[in-house]
């Protein structure tokens, strides 16, 4: 027996739960939702929005035209106020939601730009309890002993078509979106790291979604780990031999901070590129003494702000919460 739910859909349509509410078709809607967790999360959020609005029409019928969509890769319909959604920072199964945009354009960036916040002891205790729970969600780690016999830094690579790379503010952002540039991009990053710290051992980890199989030609002391080995950034980061995690603006940095690893962010992300008010150190300082740099970082304030700037799927089942969220985002437009 063939069930519609398990078949690859031939046509996924946009949704209008009310005449004034537009919900955009989720990205990769043609992918089977039981096969890809990220696609499942996108569907879950947008379907929940739709059902909550349909069941509680009186909460939303008075609103102006709203467009709710995942990511910024589609243009909202004309004359609609956009509300953008993306996977959360910590944990990934929560959601970042903002009318300003995702990641670099999310309103959390304005909060972080104001500098570290002083949270109360009760708030800090609550944050630590949540972070402890989050650490347990990552399951078992498979740290490769062979790679972790000598000290190293791990560089978590990104896709060259990544929207975050476009917005990084780095010179290598000019490569973003160009076809066949993947290895040239990695080699440029390798040269950048070698210039900052000649001779330092660095492991470059291929992005799990990249399909390129040919290895790049990296600088001496730099090693490349293809995604075919199924090694995660955290599998390497939790090793005592790992001195720190480096990214351009990947969420791998936030996950490393969750496990108290020193980090460096080359480009603009939720904060401006390092050094900044939360992470006041340069790349050269970080590669020379990552432990000292980690002590300078205001990690508790940074992570606490992220934890308070995300939404859960359960919240989106409450019409009062959804209406308040929409009205708050309208006020930001």
β-strand pairing of 66-70 with 81-87: parallel
User: Cβ neighbours of residue 231 under 8 Å, at least 6 residues apart?
Assistant: 142, 144, 205, 225
Q: What is the DSSP string of 244-300?
A: EEEESS-THHHHHHHTT--EEE-S-SSSPSSSSSSS---HHHHHH-HHHHHHHS-HH
Is 165's pLDDT higher than 60? Answer: yes
What pLDDT digit, counting tens, does each position of 112-145 carry? 999 999 999 999 999 999 999 999 888 889 889 9
Give the tokens for residue 30.
């043609």
What pLDDT digit, counting tens, does each position of 23-32 carry? 998 776 666 6
CB count, 10 Å around CB of 79? 8
Q: What is the DSSP string of 56-73?
A: THHHHTTS--EEEEESSS
Is 317's pLDDT higher than 80? Answer: yes
What integer pLDDT is reported at residue 250 of this predicted model? Answer: 95
Domains of the chain: 4-107+309-332 (no CATH), 130-299 (3.40.50)
On whether the pTM is more than 0.85, the answer is yes
User: Cβ neighbours of residue 283 under 8 Å, at least 6 residues apart?
Assistant: 196, 264, 266, 274
- At residue 244, what are phi and psi to the nearest 5 degrees? 170, 170
């Amino acid at each position: 027996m063939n069930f519609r739910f398990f078949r690859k859909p031939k046509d996924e349509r946009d949704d209008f739960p009310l005449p004034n509410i537009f919900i955009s078709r989720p990205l990769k809607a043609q992918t089977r939702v039981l096969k890809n967790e990220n696609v499942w999360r996108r569907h879950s959020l947008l379907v929940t929005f739709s059902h909550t609005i349909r069941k509680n029409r009186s909460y939303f019928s008075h609103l102006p035209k709203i467009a709710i969509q995942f990511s910024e890769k589609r243009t909202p319909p004309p004359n609609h106020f956009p509300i953008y959604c993306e996977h959360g920072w910590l944990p990934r199964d929560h959601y970042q939601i903002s009318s300003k945009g995702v990641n670099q354009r999310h309103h959390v960036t304005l909060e972080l730009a104001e500098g570290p916040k002083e949270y109360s002891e009760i708030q800090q205790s609550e944050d630590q309890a949540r972070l402890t729970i989050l650490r347990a969600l990552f399951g078992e780690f498979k740290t490769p002993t062979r790679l972790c016999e000598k000290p190293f830094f791990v560089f978590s690579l990104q896709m060259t078509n990544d929207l975050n790379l476009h917005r990084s503010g780095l010179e290598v952002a000019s490569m973003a979106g160009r076809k066949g540039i993947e290895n040239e991009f990695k080699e440029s990053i390798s040269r950048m790291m070698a210039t900052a710290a000649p001779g330092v051992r660095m492991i470059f980890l291929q992005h799990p979604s990249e399909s390129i199989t040919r290895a790049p030609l990296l600088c001496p002391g730099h090693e490349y780990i293809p995604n075919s080995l199924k090694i995660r950034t955290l599998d390497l980061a939790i090793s005592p031999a790992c001195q720190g995690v480096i990214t351009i603006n990947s969420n791998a940095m936030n996950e490393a901070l969750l496990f108290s690893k020193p980090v460096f962010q080359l480009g603009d992300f939720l904060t401006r590129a390092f050094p900044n008010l939360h992470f006041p150190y340069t790349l050269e300082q970080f590669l020379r003494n990552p432990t000292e740099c980690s002590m300078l970082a205001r990690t508790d304030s940074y992570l606490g702000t992220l934890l308070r700037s995300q939404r859960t799927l359960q919240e989106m089942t409450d019409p009062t919460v959804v209406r308040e969220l929409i009205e708050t985002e309208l006020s930001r437009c």
